[in-house]
Structure 1
């Protein structure tokens, strides 16, 4: 348990949370029979980001004996340290290579060339060596600094502890340095074992040996020690002698190849960070040995694959303490150090997540409204790039980490294959959302893959707890298995009082949770601890995926709607794939056992990196939490003052989403939306009224369907304006498909105009119409009441005109209001469509055809948005002509411009820190 202790009272603290910036802490250990405490003093990571207060001096940090020791060590000499080494600038901060920097290097090009060329010769070559043997200097080291030229015997004596350094031997005839291995400098030279680099007196003749180091593959010779280890005993085995010398043998019996421990560690770090394949790494080693005839260098690829896996397994066993029997209790204690871990577990769990009896007491009395302080937050997610091709694997390869790290036991996985069949109920999402990973199980795109990917379970600090192979897709049984594999590392056995609350986040949680507990009981009938834990588990849908679900899911599973979630957005599993995906290009070609081992090793490196940076992460999150707390509290207090009369009533409302009797889900966080009166709804109302009125009129009188006629005219106006917009687009970009669309629009407009003008004779019997222009019907005037009022043929008032004119005017006003409302919705949809096209633009950039298609789609989306804005403004202008409103800015329908439709582009990636920005 970590407890901060108040020190430095003069530091500036939060007015809402006291004692948050102290620089000392206590650790309470609960693993023994009684708790014990240790006090520590640590510089607060926040000090470097805060300016000292001017109101009161900050007292100096306490000085301990350890500080005196380090101070004396610093005074002993100018020893550089990583944290004091200056950077590239005079200020000490690193910078990018700039034009000025490159110009500076370029100006000294001749000096660089002279120095590099000078390394290929030395003035001491062929001069007498200082050893006094009368031998000439002709050998220097290619790997040592300074490159002192020595005689062959002196060079061999100086490199007995570094036999993998390349020797540069001067060729007297050709006058250049030739590259040789250690044993080729002298005829009697060999890599001697057992006597600190000296040859054993009882040694046999040296044996040919392939020694691999970071500077290449060496064809050398080794002489083994033959001294007896004890009375009646023979010499140490050859593989053991190699290990004692720092050389990892390729085999146990009669090893003929060995790898330096430095090489294996170098490859491990390279693979973990850059995901280099073993094949590419071996090619590099061969070219380092001989860049011109690399094919003549021994091929160690097959053996190297096995050795690196075995070496890394041994390395993890040592790192986890199993070489010291960590599974047994320490002296004086009744439980082993990590009582919640399975026996023999080699994985690494998050040190920041709560774990009962390890970093917190077993029993903690915390109110329910503070349960997030002791809750464990985890995410589930699938990845289809960490797959495996179908291989001719007979299954004889052995996994060294089978069931001991992040993948489950392969035997258990094989026995549960039938459980992984995706049933129909798993394919249907309750909210009706399109979740591709669930609905497209069994798709043919997973052809030729034995494993289509992995499902990972990780905590909110992005530390992986488990990995499970996917045979086809993200079956819910796979997610259940991954969840169980992660929980079993730190959950059981706990009683009711010491169980850690669990919160899970999954893309398809709405479907996954429906039969989660029943599925777990069927899969693991004997693990009652898991059944009890799943009965109380909480869940949500990740913040980025929730928008792809329906309204019901957004009401029930929205993360921000839950209390005690500690800003858990549920997408942390996604960050793992950027680290793991580059590894897929090599592991998909491996055997199943090798793939599991390699992925376990790489994920363990990721978890180790996360563990080492956990303190900084927690400090940063704490700082950000305090800052946001100050901002949010100020907003909360301000809103509470503004709605003082409503706060008491609002506080009584439940935050939990509830289901109404009619089957609808309701949440206090939902926005109350009102249905917009659209042109379609107004038309249906007016038509119903007309039918009732006309039924009372003498059947011998002609009936005039006014509402439908006006609506037909508005729709023709829309076709005309769209035609005009497309004609303008065609003039800028003359494409055949655009012209074809214009021709179809004109044909439709001509047909609609003919019917419209026939009905117009019943509305305006005395109106004389001009002939139609079938080539450009978009230029024909649609003489609705607003058009006639605009041109002075009718009055825009309630008093003027006949009763028929007033009826027509009133009907068009209602329909134009509905058109304006519908126009606003259409502009919104067009804006969303434009953002979607921009978002998909990068994915379509595949060759010239893709670029052209993308640009064309963008032009269409922009044209559609501009057209919808024009249609809205046309409805507004008609309302002005009809006398419903004026041109002022305070009218019901204001003028709409493109700048009024601005919205943040969803195709742009979010920058670091965007989620922490708040508007006050």
Structure 2
């Protein structure tokens, strides 16, 4: 239960009055005579002066007096001024009531001032708080206020906090020192309370809640959020018949293709926006739970508590395991370990009811549980009825698997009907390289039709703006933090709205030449394929179109050649031995050791030959000596079998033992013994061709295994580094992350060494077993090749970056037909994505203009006399009318500005290569 005498809760009972008075000031208020000369039709009001009175043009100048040399600065209180409040504001009151021994405090942009103030005591006088509000003074409490802040200072801090991220503490104490550098006049708590109430009222005012005849309490979930005008909103900016648009196919007007009306959402988590376990909802309640971007906290926490026992599925993607090593860090003393959000993936705007806290899991550890993201995702989808959804999440490959199963536990109002919607899941482009190879083709924005050039990384760009306030919000109570973040998200959305004219124009200017270039590149490629590959080209087109319509069909972007691994080669050799035994043609010289077992065991021994660290502790050295003794015994046993198959090595072994007799034992450790595999002998000694062939097969597979290990660990390294940079702060967390990175780097070094040994052996064995063509896939490895897909070499830029050859390998010898198919599929995908980008940008521009017109009409309706007939006060009615007309005018001015700046480029887009059809149309032709 909340404390009933809590100042914020008491203020909520008067919230309607505060909002009405704020909107009332949008009008002229004193419509009759000039305050100074009683002249008719005053038109001017000073924003820096107390009160809302109007002046004529002559009097407004005389009020701000020039003494002939400079503007005089004199304290009004020193001149004996007493501020008079009342229903006839500023004029002599018949029954003035002195205020609290003249110790009233006003917080203004010039400092914090003690003033003398008289309330009106007439029978027609308004309440004290109402008298203050009509002077543009915001009372700190609703019961006997002794402190106020001017509307001007509240607005100034409001905007400064958005732009500079200055904290209320810093701002207030700067004001304090301007007027009283002793710190004796402390009204910080009052200022904090007024700031929260001011931000809340501005949100209600801008969302039109002051014009709703049903009142503030009729506000619904998410109704105060600033919507993205470019996203599809049925009944707001989509055609009336948008549901009747065809799913796919050739149409004269591409605007009737249903994918253009799809909604792009991006899910992400931010572990920087924590909150300490201070205060609680009773002491610090939220003013608008669920009215903007945060979900309703009570319902959200109740649902999470009821699903605490639900086990989270184990990930099947290797990148998640690497991330979990960094995620699982202690978070003692925290009530919220971060935020989960759902954003517009194209324009980076927060969606209504799409933000919620992340909580600690068992063991005081941070875990971004699927149930949190399920709730936020389903919560925000209540605000749309679009049928096509494109969902981006950096772990979408795992998260989406049981989403519909989990949905059964949610309230009916939050459940979707997936059978009646087209829903696609993607991994953001920057995150994709950290995933396994299967995910890189199945969840890529690059390959799926109808997604244009979306990258899914929009939330990552937005965190840079909000992260600077993490140090402030971390110390706040739950209600203050939610209200503050709601305020920031609303401002961020609005700034993106007013910049859409510039943003959309630049995107279209970039997309037009790219569309042309990629279509020409596709035409050139297809021209080269016609003839020898004509039949294959038709088959490839059929396959890729089938996959686009049904993702369960074979993915044309995946390589179909068999992947070579050490395990598969060993199995093949074992089957050969089995066949030889069954056919009676086995040539094994020992019943326990066939030629394949001999070479395979030799490679295993080579892997185990690692040195002893010179800085090892006694305990470590003891374990290593035991391991070395075991290894020495295995090598001695293996050498006896080896001499059966390779008799010429007996002389080499005797020579080695005689030489080592005069050298210290440290030199003759197992790590220094030469295994003398066929590749190490080469042509210097006779060797059975069968042994050379077996080693070739095993070395070939070993090289591919090593490359796969390199790629996997480079993906893990990239994921951990990105997570560390985004979310980890403090010595402890960074130390744990560095230890994880050291382990990854050790595996990278081991994989590189293994590949180098395998490649060296292949170079020696290739001419002996007549193997050719393998050099193009297994190249020499140097340290500059060991880099992630996004790393740049010295002197490279993003536009000139070249991918390391290790990422072009997928496991087996190059298959020309397979490579040509994949290259054609990719070229086709690039051309289609850029064509879609142009069409989607044109559609989004149309939606933006229609959205502004819809919004302007809503404000026009709010300003109709019929809508205001219940408002008795003439000044209040004028304020409501003035604000509605101002907002409608603002929407139309934005629309006209955007339309003017887009006209030439849109005309160019319409006339630019009219004969150029989309690649989809061309494929069907």
* TM-score (structure 1 length as normaliser): 0.63
What's the secondary structure of 1:421's corresponding residue?
coil
2:133 matched residue in structure 1: 243
Q: Is the 8 A contact 1:463 1:610 kept in 2?
A: yes
CA distance in 2: counterparts of 1:481 and 1:853, whole angstroms: 34
CA distance in 2: counterparts of 1:414 and 1:702, whole angstroms: 67
Change (3 A) 1:576 1:320: same
1:876 matched residue in structure 2: 762
Q: Is the 8 A contact 1:827 1:869 kept in 2?
A: yes
CA distance in 2: counterparts of 1:521 and 1:753, whole angstroms: 60
What's the secondary structure of 2:320's corresponding residue?
coil
Query: 1:300 and 2:195 equivalent?
Result: no
What's the secondary structure of 2:446's corresponding residue?
helix
What's the secondary structure of 1:868's corresponding residue?
helix
Change (3 A) 1:551 1:827: closer
How far did residue 607 of structure 1 move?
Answer: 1.0
Q: 1:754 aligns with which of 624, 632, 636?
A: 636
Q: 2:689 aligns with which of 806, 809, 822?
A: 809
2:780 matched residue in structure 1: 896
5+ residue gaps, structure 2, are 1-47, 50-61, 249-256, 361-366, 804-826, 832-925
1:12 matched residue in structure 2: none
How far did residue 246 of structure 1 move?
Answer: 2.7
1:65 matched residue in structure 2: none
Aligned positions of 1:1-150 closer than 5 A? none
Q: 2:555 aligns with which of 662, 667, 671?
A: 667
CA distance in 1: counterparts of 2:165 and 2:330, whole angstroms: 25
CA distance in 2: counterparts of 1:342 and 1:299, whole angstroms: 38
How far did residue 311 of structure 1 move?
Answer: 1.4
1:272 matched residue in structure 2: 162
CA distance in 1: counterparts of 2:453 and 2:524, whole angstroms: 22
CA distance in 2: counterparts of 1:223 and 1:837, whole angstroms: 66
1:287 matched residue in structure 2: 177
How far did residue 570 of structure 1 move?
Answer: 2.8
More deviation in 849-858 or 402-411? 849-858
Count, aligned residues: 695
1:540 matched residue in structure 2: 425
If asked which structure has higher relative contact order (CA below 8 Å, sep 6+), I would say: 2
Query: 1:222 and 2:112 equivalent?
Result: no
Aligned positions of 1:338-487 closer than 5 A? 342=220, 345-364=223-242, 365-369=244-248, 370-393=257-280, 395=282, 397-413=284-300, 416-421=303-308, 423-424=310-311, 426-429=312-315, 434=320, 445=330, 448-460=333-345, 461-465=347-351, 466=353, 467-472=355-360, 474-487=368-381
CA distance in 1: counterparts of 2:695 and 2:571, whole angstroms: 9
Change (3 A) 1:590 1:913: farther
Change (3 A) 1:640 1:811: same
Larger Rg: 1
Change (3 A) 1:434 1:398: closer
CA distance in 1: counterparts of 2:697 and 2:405, whole angstroms: 54
Change (3 A) 1:189 1:635: same
Query: 1:596 and 2:482 equivalent?
Result: yes
CA distance in 1: counterparts of 2:238 and 2:466, whole angstroms: 32
CA distance in 2: counterparts of 1:470 and 1:386, whole angstroms: 10
Aligned positions of 1:506-905 closer than 5 A? 506-510=393-397, 512-513=399-400, 516=403, 520=407, 523-525=410-412, 531-532=416-417, 535-543=420-428, 544-546=430-432, 556-644=442-530, 645=534, 646-653=536-543, 655=545, 666-676=554-564, 678=566, 680-681=570-571, 683-684=573-574, 687-688=577-578, 705-716=594-605, 723=611, 747=629, 750-763=632-645, 767-768=650-651, 769-770=654-655, 772=657, 773=660, 774-777=665-668, 780=673, 782-783=675-676, 790-791=683-684, 793-794=685-686, 808-827=688-707, 829-830=709-710, 833=713, 843=724, 846=731, 860=746, 864=750, 867-879=753-765, 883-884=768-769, 896-898=780-782, 901=785, 903-904=787-788
What's the secondary structure of 1:640's corresponding residue?
helix
What's the secondary structure of 1:488's corresponding residue?
helix
1:335 matched residue in structure 2: none
How far did residue 682 of structure 1 move?
Answer: 6.0
How far did residue 875 of structure 1 move?
Answer: 0.8
Change (3 A) 1:762 1:690: farther
CA distance in 2: counterparts of 1:486 and 1:311, whole angstroms: 26
Q: Per-residue displacement from partner, 1:444-472 (whole Å, max 9, x unpaired)?
A: 94654444443322212111112234455
CA distance in 1: counterparts of 2:371 and 2:141, whole angstroms: 41
How far did residue 915 of structure 1 move?
Answer: 11
More deviation in 559-568 or 843-852? 843-852
How far did residue 879 of structure 1 move?
Answer: 1.6
The structure where helix makes up a greater share of residues is: 2
Change (3 A) 1:690 1:353: same
Q: Is the 8 A contact 1:820 1:893 kept in 2?
A: no
What's the secondary structure of 1:669's corresponding residue?
coil
Q: Per-residue displacement from partner, 1:509-546 (whole Å, max 9, x unpaired)?
A: 4555455556556533367xx64477414130322455
How far did residue 893 of structure 1 move?
Answer: 9.0
Q: Per-residue displacement from partner, 1:560-594 (whole Å, max 9, x unpaired)?
A: 34321223333323333333334343334433333
CA distance in 2: counterparts of 1:621 and 1:636, whole angstroms: 22
CA distance in 2: counterparts of 1:713 and 1:436, whole angstroms: 32
How far did residue 759 of structure 1 move?
Answer: 2.9
How far did residue 900 of structure 1 move?
Answer: 8.1
5+ residue gaps, structure 1, are 1-142, 145-156, 169-180, 329-338, 492-498, 795-804
Q: Is the 8 A contact 1:505 1:541 kept in 2?
A: yes
Q: Is the 8 A contact 2:326 2:720 kept in 1?
A: no
What's the secondary structure of 2:238's corresponding residue?
coil
Change (3 A) 1:371 1:738: farther
| RMSD of equivalent CA atoms | 5.1
Q: Is the 8 A contact 2:433 2:789 kept in 1?
A: no
How far did residue 904 of structure 1 move?
Answer: 4.5
Q: Per-residue displacement from partner, 1:322-365 (whole Å, max 9, x unpaired)?
A: 3333889xxxxxxxxxx9x9599222111111222222322235
Q: Is the 8 A contact 1:247 1:260 kept in 2?
A: yes
What's the secondary structure of 2:655's corresponding residue?
coil
